[in-house]
């Protein structure tokens, strides 16, 4: 797996996606969906457009390998925006990361899936990979709610869901990182780290993901595991992973902490020039490493 051209590719995706707001029902939203769909297929995945909440459309890759007996590892990022914001960080940064992970992981998982079973019949992977571009996150997490509920209705096993939510903004000045009042003093006040937010039931998933991120040189990583489904720290529920928490699945969010550091959140100024692409590259590489580990281990630690 090569990360050649990774930072430049990430910039190209963000600039393409964040040229204008991607509000559901608009031409820009449809164009973004077509762009994502095409690149996921180019990476070797079969993609289904799944209606969510009536107007929403999730882009969902078919599981690789095609082994219904294996649990799913789901990587997801929402592609819609609020009105008036081009959403470079929220959430073109994460969609760009998802697309580059598809490019990097697609050949690896598809080659392994086609290599045939081992002598013990277990096959080369112990989980199946699914990539999702969620719709209508900004309008009530509708896309992820639809998927999580459908998986639960079908009694589908999920090893873990990773929500990629705003991955590309940093600020290296002291005091640039804000925190909820009850977390102040527990985490750095410089906005140069990537955050991992899990609940206690997802601790094993968090350990694998944090290890993958920490294996990338020059990437500070901070993590938190909250009780229950995050009711005591409601800010950690503000992305698609919480739909999976509510259905009892292991899930977490990887984030640059959103409005706790980024002053352009939900503003017209959330533009591609504000992002730190070397940082986004390191995050993407770390999630790739963690995903491969999640696919290959027999069970979570």
Counting residues of the chain whose pLDDT is more than 90, the rounded percentage is 89
What's the rounded Cα separation, in Å, for the pair 167 and 256? 5
- What pLDDT does residue 116 have? 47
State pTM to two decimals. Answer: 0.95
pLDDT, one tens digit per residue, over 221-245 is 999 999 999 999 999 999 999 999 9
pLDDT at 1 over 60: no
Q: Please, what is the Cα angle at 253 between 15 and 38, to 5 degrees?
A: 40
Among 43, 63, 61, residue whose Cα is nearest residue 1: 43
CA distance 70 to 120: 15
Phi and psi at 160, nearest 5°, equal 180, 145
Q: What average pLDDT does range 50-73 have in this prediction?
A: 94
Which phi and psi angles does 164 have, rounded to 5°?
A: -95, 115
Gap between the Cα atoms of 49 and 147, Å rounded: 12
User: Could you give the CA distance from residue 263 to residue 173 in angstroms, rounded to a whole number?
Assistant: 14
Residue 117 has pLDDT above 50, yes or no: no
At residue 24, φ and ψ (nearest 5 deg) are -50, 135
Give Cα separations from 119 to 70, 116, 122, 124 (angstroms): 17, 9, 8, 10
Distance from C-alpha of 197 to C-alpha of 177, rounded to nearest angstrom: 16
Residue 120 pLDDT level (bands cut at 50, 70, 90): very low
Q: Please, what sign has the CA dihedral across residues 69, 110, 254, 163?
A: negative
């Amino acid at each position: 797996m090569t990360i050649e051209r990774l930072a430049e590719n990430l910039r190209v995706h963000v600039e393409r996606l964040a040229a204008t707001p991607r509000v559901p029902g608009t031409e820009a939203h449809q164009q973004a969906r077509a762009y994502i769909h095409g690149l996921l297929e180019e990476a070797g995945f079969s993609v289904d457009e799944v209606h969510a909440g009536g107007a929403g459309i999730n882009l969902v890759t078919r599981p690789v390998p095609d082994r219904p007996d294996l649990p799913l590892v789901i990587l997801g990022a929402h592609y819609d925006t609020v009105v008036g914001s081009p959403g470079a960080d929220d959430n073109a940064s994460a969609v760009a990361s998802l697309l580059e992970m598809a490019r990097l992981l697609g050949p690896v998982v598809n080659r392994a899936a086609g290599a045939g079973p081992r002598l013990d019949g277990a096959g080369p992977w112990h989980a199946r990979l699914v990539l999702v571009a969620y719709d209508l996150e900004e309008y009530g997490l509708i896309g992820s709610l639809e998927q999580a509920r459908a998986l639960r209705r079908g009694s589908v096993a999920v090893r873990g869901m990773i929500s990629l939510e705003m991955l590309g903004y940093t600020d290296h000045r002291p005091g640039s990182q804000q925190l909820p009042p009850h977390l102040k003093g527990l985490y750095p006040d410089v906005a140069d780290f990537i955050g991992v937010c899990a609940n206690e039931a997802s601790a094993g998933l968090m350990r694998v993901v944090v290890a993958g991120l920490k294996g990338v040189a020059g990437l500070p990583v901070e993590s938190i595991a909250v009780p229950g489904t995050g009711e005591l720290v409601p800010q950690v529920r503000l992305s698609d992973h919480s739909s999976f928490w509510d259905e009892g699945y292991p899930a977490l969010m990887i984030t640059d902490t959103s409005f706790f550091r980024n002053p352009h959140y939900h503003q017209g100024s959330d533009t591609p020039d504000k992002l730190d692409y070397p940082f986004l590259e390191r995050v993407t590489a770390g999630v790739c490493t963690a995903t491969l580990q999640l696919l290959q281990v027999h069970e979570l630690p």
